[in-house]
């Protein structure tokens, strides 16, 4: 296909083979003469798709049998309110770790349903690190974490061991690295970063946690209804689930999460090494908490930043502008981004520095 290097943060790059297969299914799915977009979600063919997608999620993340795998809609943002609606109402409080923009959004919604305790925050340092040691007040309904802070470029590598139920927003690093599902009571992720196209939200939840809900919630916000109806209480996001299935098959083919994690580590190391070496750039996140999915950095001044952006866009590199609240650059290295794209970016950064270093003495000598 094209030579575009897509470093976008989300919706993001999907494997080319997945896109080709997904495109075929729009006009003639499985040789049926029908489009995947016009079949009944109750048909045996689609039931097979949703079952297979669930099975792949279970296999790839080693999800234990006492956890439900659910497909919802409304993005990760709907989970910000659905979680407290189910688990905070009628309880004293829930605890939140404030690690960035999306954690803040989750906190805002939770406050509509009960008391929110912010156990710690890295706001004072522009969310450039993950707070390490914090304590929770007694009787917290759950602790909410954001495993990867997509905008700020930090990632949690050590999850707290606690008796409190842990709920985690894994939207931007799920399937990028191995996790121990049993460390969590509920995991959620909007699909459009490492899983598939926008439109589907994955929830993995411990059955006992779901069964602990005592308050009444509307059907479309009731996790148990999704569980009891195999995620088909109403019409599910058929196409998003189908493309996610293709993407998970691709991942399994690549050797699964363990294998892709090694590639992701290499990609991130290559880019961070260049940021640290290159005198034109500077990383934004604390070394120990640097995200492998979203690499944030800045240029040494505004002029340099503009020059590099122009150069990168000429080379077909898209999606590297930092989020408006952070500025600088953000380069996303999701599963489907080939290592060649990272190599291309790193060599562009090297060449750029060479040119700039040659230019500087001329300017300063007059
Ligand atoms: C993108 C993102 C969200 C928001 O997801 P939507 O599906 O757009 O609602 C929430 N949390 C994190 C960590 C994200 O990266």
Distance, CA 350 to ligand 1 centroid (Å)? 33
Separation CA 81–CA 261 (nearest Å) = 31
Distance 202 CA to ligand 1 centre (A): 12
171 Cβ inside 6 Å of ligand 1: yes
- Ligand 1 in contact with 76 (CB < 6 A)? yes
Phi, psi (rounded to 5 degrees) for 248: -70, -30
The least confident of 203-207, 224-228, 259-263, 362-366 is 362-366
71 ligand 1 Cβ < 6 A? no
Site to substitute for ligand 1 among 12, 72, 75, 244, most atoms within 8 A of C-beta: 75
**Does the beta carbon of 197 lie inside 6 Å of ligand 1?**
no
Strands (E), the chain: 5-6, 67-72, 93-98, 115-121, 140-146, 148-149, 154-155, 166-169, 186-190, 201-206, 281-283, 294-299, 317-318, 329-332
pLDDT digits (tens, 9 = 90+) for 36-89: 999 999 999 999 999 999 999 999 999 999 999 999 999 999 999 999 999 999
Enumerate domains of the chain plus CATH numbers: 16-253 (3.40.640.10), 256-358 (3.90.1150.10)
- Mean pLDDT (the chain) is 95
pLDDT tens digits, residue range 215-247? 999 999 999 999 999 999 999 999 999 999 999
Question: Model confidence over 164-218: pLDDT tens digits?
Answer: 999 999 999 999 999 999 999 999 999 999 999 999 999 999 999 999 999 999 9
């Amino acid at each position: 296909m094209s030579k575009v290097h897509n470093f976008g943060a989300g919706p993001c790059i999907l494997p080319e083979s997945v896109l080709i297969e997904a495109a075929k299914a729009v006009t003639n799915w499985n040789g049926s003469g029908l489009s995947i977009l016009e079949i009944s979600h109750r048909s045996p063919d689609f039931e097979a798709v949703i079952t297979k997608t669930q099975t792949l999620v279970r296999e790839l993340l080693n999800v234990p049998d006492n956890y439900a795998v659910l497909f919802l809609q409304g993005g990760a943002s709907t989970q910000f309110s659905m979680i407290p609606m189910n688990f905070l109402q009628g309880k004293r409080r829930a605890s939140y770790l404030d690690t960035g923009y999306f954690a803040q959004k989750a906190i805002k919604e939770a406050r509509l349903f009960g008391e929110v305790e912010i156990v710690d925050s890295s706001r004072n340092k522009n969310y450039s690190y993950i707070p390490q040691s914090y304590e929770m007040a007694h009787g917290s309904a759950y602790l909410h974490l954001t495993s990867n802070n997509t905008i700020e470029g930090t990632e949690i590598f050590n999850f707290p061991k606690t008796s409190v139920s842990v709920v985690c927003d894994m939207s931007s690093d799920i399937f990028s690295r191995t996790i121990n599902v049993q460390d969590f009571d509920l995991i959620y992720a909007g699909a459009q970063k490492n899983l598939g196209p926008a439109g589907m939200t994955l929830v993995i939840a411990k059955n006992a946690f779901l069964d602990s809900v005592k308050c009444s919630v509307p059907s479309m916000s009731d996790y148990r209804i999704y569980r009891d109806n195999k995620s088909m209480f109403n019409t599910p996001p058929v196409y998003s689930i189908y493309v996610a299935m293709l993407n998970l098959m691709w991942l399994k083919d690549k050797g699964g999460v363990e294998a892709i994690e090694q590639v992701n580590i290499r990609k991130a190391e290559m880019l961070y090494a260049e940021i640290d070496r290159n005198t034109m750039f500077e990383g934004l996140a604390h070394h120990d908490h640097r995200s492998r999915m979203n690499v944030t950095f800045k240029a040494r001044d505004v002029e340099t930043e503009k020059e590099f952006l122009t150069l990168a866009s000429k080379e077909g590199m898209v999606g590297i502008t930092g989020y408006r609240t952070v500025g600088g650059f953000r380069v996303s290295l999701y599963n489907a981004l080939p290592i060649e794209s990272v190599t291309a970016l790193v060599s562009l950064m090297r060449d750029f520095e060479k040119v700039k270093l040659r230019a500087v003495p001329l300017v300063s000598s007059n």
